[in-house]
Amino acid sequence: MVTKDQRRRQLAREKFERQQQRRVAERSKYRRRNAVIAAVVAVVVAAGGASWAMGLGSGTKDDAAASASTSPSASTASKAPDPCAKAAAGSVATKTWKQEPAVTIDKTAKYVFDLQTTCGDIALNLDAANAPHTVNSFKFLADNGYFDHTKCHRLTTSGIYVLQCGDPTGQGSGGPGYTIPDENLKAKSISKGTYPAGTVAMANTGSAHTGGSQFFLVYKDSTLPASYTPFGTISSSGMTVLNKIAAAGAAGGTGDGAPNATVVINKATVTKS
């Protein structure tokens, strides 16, 4: 017999899957519109990549039934105070690449992805052995300043508990111009349909091998299918920062939106430890 808690998790999962499908459809429509505009005015419009999501990347409102029992009304919720500092001066990089960089990392070595954010430093210990393409891509992007001055654009606080980052547009639709293959999907840690707290994983468009630059940080065990490359773990000090961000809540009080905390990655580096 399905328990009330199992049913709640199932509804939350189905909600995010619907959001993912809707965002991909919306992005396709947006691209077609841009193509028409480009033809009329003879201007090449940069589409900015696909919509990366983990059942997340849109911010589009969905059916209220799936979360009505756990999320407060947007009209009555108040915005929590911003616990983060002012962002460092600088601008977001706009460069993209046509193909994935060649894998040059040492697959036997340990790498650390350091995020110097306005809310505190978050260190991610990367799994080069089991996710070499992903770790190599993140080192390449970090070395090129791709993540610097970008905003973490989405926080979920109901059913699935993650902070999503890595989009230079800050809207969930940006990417580096190339995609990387899925990896490590048979990891024991996610084999039972749960991404445990402390996991860092790739977002995607809902199809296989569509990861780009967007990733999500799990601050509480989250029920998700094993479709999102897990490629590292969050340090204990990083989890403290992440929980501070989560405690401030999401905009609108719906449990799914831009974080109330202004989370900006001032500087990101990937170093061999």
How many domains does the chain contain in total? 1
Answer yes or no: is pLDDT of 226 > 60.
yes
The continuous run of DSSP H or E covering 177 comes out as: none
Q: Average pLDDT in the 97-106 region?
A: 98
Place of tokens 């926080």: 155
Q: In the structure, what pLDDT confidence band is assigned to residue 81 with cuts at 50, 70 and 90?
A: confident
- The 10 Å Cβ neighbour count of residue 30 is 14
Q: Cβ(142)–Cβ(271) under 8 Å?
A: no
**What tokens does 70 get?**
């756990």
Amino acid 6: pLDDT:
67
How does pLDDT run across 144-156, given as a tens digit for each residue? 999 999 999 999 9
Q: Cα angle vertex 59, ends 54, 61, to 5°?
A: 115
Q: Average pLDDT in the 158-173 region?
A: 96
Q: Cβ(205)–Cβ(239) under 8 Å?
A: no
Q: What residue numbers bound the domain in which 268 lies?
A: 4-272
Alpha-carbon span 122 to 113, nearest angstrom? 8
Amino acid 16: pLDDT:
67
Q: In the structure, what pLDDT confidence band is assigned to residue 94 with cuts at 50, 70 and 90?
A: very high
Q: Average pLDDT in the 239-252 region?
A: 96
Alpha-carbon span 191 to 195, nearest angstrom? 9
Mean pLDDT of all residues belonging to the chain: 82
Alpha-carbon span 226 to 247, nearest angstrom? 27
Alpha-carbon span 22 to 34, nearest angstrom? 18
**Percent of the chain whose pLDDT exceeds 70:** 72
* CATH number for position 41: 2.40.100.10
pTM, two decimal places: 0.76
Q: Cβ(127)–Cβ(112) under 8 Å?
A: no
Of 157 and 7, the structure prediction assigns the larger pLDDT to 157
